[in-house]
Amino acid sequence: MEREGRPNPEKLLRQIQMEESKKVKRGKCTIFLGYAAGVGKTYAMLESAHELQKTGVDVVAAYIEPHARKDTMEKAEGLETIPPLLIPYKGICLREMDLDAVLKRKPKVVLADELAHTNAEGMRHQKRYEDIEELLSAGIDVYTTVNIQHLESLNDIVSGITGIRVKERVPDTFFDQADVVKIIDIEPDMLIDRLKEGKIYKAVQAERALDNFFAREKLISLREIALRRTADRVNWIAMEERKAYRERQCFAGEHILTCISPSPTNMKVIRNASRLSYAFHAEFTALYVETPKLQNADQKVKKMVEDNIHLAKTLGAKIVTVFGEEVAFQIAEYARICGASKIVLGRTNHRIFFGQKRGTLADQVSQFVPDIDIYIIPDTNTHRSDQQSFGRMEMMKSKKSMNTEKLYVDLAQGALTLGGATFLSLCLERIGFLSENTIMIYLFGILILSMFCKRRWVASGAALISVFLFDFFFVPPIGNFGVETPMHYTTFAFMFFFAFIISTIITKQRKQAQESAKLVYRTELLLENSKRMRRVHNVKDLLSELSGQVLKLLGLSVIFFVKKDEKITGPWMYPRTGVGKTQLRQLYDSQEKAVVQWVIENRKRAGCCTHTLPNAKAMYLPIKTAEKLYAVMGIVLEEKREIPPFKYALLTAMLNEAALVFERIYLVGRGNNEQNVSKKI
């Protein structure tokens, strides 16, 4: 008989063993890497598959790219093949890997050619590497192929060599975490001979390729990159193992910090920072400084920022968002707090009068943190991608639209302020108010204007115009801009100086107050969420509190599905204002159920605005700890817009805290049940 309230060790051991037995062993990933098409990646993969088959291993070909290469296609014969899905697209049928059929068949090893492939619209995942990730999670070993130019961090280097920017890319983290990477290497001259013999492309394509991508000097460079990257991966694995076993200290304290912006060249900066962090075996952080201008920017500019944030995440960076008007100060302050050892920035030279340069962002940052190394990434790429050109054009359009949108309001405020100050001064002069004292009225007007005007230059311009108005209406000779006494010029200078200083200080203080208010709001939201969560004692109240905080943060409808004892309950619906539960229930159909089920099984987010099942109406996020999933929360994104990065970070923090509350509720409930059973015994 066990002591009251004390768990039975044997019972705990059996429970741990049961939980371990439920865990699926992750499959192993083998990548066949080449430096160009035609080196023999697919052939080598098929050859390895036949060797496995001879030893009795269950091997299935899920997708083999239909090459017009006789030797390769002959090598595919004799292997069990899962028929591809045929997806109609603009009058043609696209061949895609049937992921569900592979999961149902569940072989020991599956062949999935073309790792960097982008799936057709409507597939569960946007990228094939995400399909392969799901197969690995299901315990299936995967053989796949990829060329070096498809690695995300090398994209700008390869485009600089070949003049071609590859659109289909694979995260470096996926490549580095592969269990085996086999580099398929042949001499560039041999590859060119194969191309001339028609073994890679047809005659017309081959001739064109020889003058472009398959030029000998380009192939030599690509081969060198592939060999170096493979060697770097081996070194990286060795260093990870040394770090794990504490054999020696590996670059302790190295921390690379880069910055995210809507600049067209920001992707190049992020990739360079990623390669630097990889080389130094360092922590990698990407900082986004959200300024008032970026907060009010056009959606297309915000989309560029989101794309750059997604790229940084793909390259393994930790994303941090801060708010402020002084970008250099925010970068330096965060670098100091997080202990960054190196800062990677793009070159941002700006010319002002007579061709001289004002301080670059790097110069400004170095003034705040002179002891931190700063790396400048120049924009030397003459072959700009369409996306970069488009991005620059969209930024210009956005700035114009943003300026036009509120310019007239600011100008009207300035005109009314100066007109009102002049009218009031004239009225007071008639009743004996000294003209010299009207300066105070103008200064007061500039003060009021600075508090409400959105643009600093409008208030500064009003300060200058007030000097001319004072001269015209109140300084003899009245009615023109001349003066009788030269001393008045000193009066004008001081008047403009004080008005300009007032407008500058007030405008800055107002913007800082706005940013402080936003930070206070977000901090209060997290504190309030934490306090409310601590008072929760059952699942129903937890969902109610969490949905209330999400509605307050995002203003969007929320759906929950709760998992307990391997059973799923729900949906628990919490609609936003203006949406009824019936209307929300109509959105939840069989397609949405499939997305929820996928999130439950894979413990990853999916749905609208993600790479997995993006056609869903809501984004579904798991509420989980490191060991267990407790629930799934769906956020109905009615306008199909991604959640802003900082709000998403707050949302993630809320979900993490909610998972801990779930764990507490279930542990308390289990503890009470065990105590009741002990008392009965």
As a whole number, mean pLDDT of residues 565-586 equals 85
Structure tokens at 580: 């009824």
Comparing CA positions, the residue from 562, 558, 563 lying closest to residue 638 is 558
Q: What pLDDT was estimated at residue 532?
A: 77
The most confident of 347-356, 422-431, 468-477, 599-608, by mean pLDDT = 599-608
Can you spell out the DSSP letters for 221-262? Answer: HHHHHHHHHHHHHHHHHHHHHHHHHTSS--STT-EEEEEE-S
Q: Is the peptide bond before 644 cis (omega within 30 degrees of 0)?
A: no
Asked, colleague to colleague, whether 27-245 and 255-383 share their fold, the answer is yes
% of the chain with per-residue pLDDT over 90: 24
Domain 255-383 has CATH 3.40.50.620: yes
Structure tokens at 228: 């170096």
As a whole number, mean pLDDT of residues 494-510 equals 69
Q: What is the pLDDT of residues 289-325, one digit of tens each?
A: 888 777 777 778 888 888 899 899 888 898 888 877 7
Q: Distance between CA 516 and CA 325 in Å, rounded?
A: 11
Q: What pLDDT was estimated at residue 522?
A: 63
Q: Distance between CA 425 and CA 616 in Å, rounded?
A: 64
Q: What pTM value is reported for the model?
A: 0.68
Domain 27-245 has CATH 3.40.50.720: no
Assess whether pLDDT exceeds 90 at residue 106: yes
The model's confidence at residue 512, banded by pLDDT at 50, 70 and 90, is: low
Q: What is the pLDDT of residues 340-379, one digit of tens each?
A: 889 999 875 544 433 444 567 888 888 888 888 899 887 6
The model's confidence at residue 451, banded by pLDDT at 50, 70 and 90, is: low
Q: What pLDDT was estimated at residue 514?
A: 57
Q: What pLDDT was estimated at residue 356?
A: 40
* More reliable by pLDDT, 630 or 582: 630
Assess whether pLDDT exceeds 80 at residue 388: no
The model's confidence at residue 385, banded by pLDDT at 50, 70 and 90, is: very low
Assess whether pLDDT exceeds 50 at residue 197: yes
Domain boundaries, the chain: 27-245, 255-383, 413-510, 535-678
Residues 6+ apart with CB under 8 A from 49: 59, 61, 79, 109, 111, 143
Assess whether pLDDT exceeds 50 at residue 455: yes
What pairs with residue 555 in β-bridges? none
% of the chain with per-residue pLDDT over 70: 77
What topology is assigned to 535-678 in CATH? Beta-Lactamase (3.30.450)
Q: Distance between CA 192 and CA 222 in Å, rounded?
A: 14
Q: What pLDDT was estimated at residue 50?
A: 94
Q: What pLDDT was estimated at residue 62?
A: 94
Q: What pLDDT was estimated at residue 160?
A: 84
Q: Distance between CA 589 and CA 15 in Å, rounded?
A: 36
Pairing of strands 342-346, 373-377: parallel
Q: What is the pLDDT of residues 57-84, one digit of tens each?
A: 999 999 998 776 777 888 888 999 999 9
C-beta neighbour count of 3 within 10 angstroms: 8
Can you spell out the DSSP letters for 510-529? Answer: HHHHHHHHHHHHHHHHHHHH
Q: What pLDDT was estimated at residue 377?
A: 85
Residue with tokens 């999670």: 137
What pairs with residue 607 in β-bridges? 619
As a whole number, mean pLDDT of residues 446-475 equals 73
Assess whether pLDDT exceeds 80 at residue 140: yes
Q: Distance between CA 120 and CA 124 in Å, rounded?
A: 9
Q: What pLDDT was estimated at residue 119?
A: 92
Q: Distance between CA 289 and CA 273 in Å, rounded?
A: 17
Q: Is the peptide bond before 378 cis (omega within 30 degrees of 0)?
A: no
Q: What is the pLDDT of residues 161-184, one digit of tens each?
A: 888 888 899 999 899 889 999 999
The model's confidence at residue 391, banded by pLDDT at 50, 70 and 90, is: very low
Task: Provide the mean pLDDT of the chain.
Answer: 79
Q: Distance between CA 537 and CA 546 in Å, rounded?
A: 13
Q: What pLDDT was estimated at residue 116?
A: 93
Q: Distance between CA 121 and CA 646 in Å, rounded?
A: 29
Q: Is 1 exposed, middle or buried (0-12, 13-18, 19+ CB in 10 A)?
A: exposed
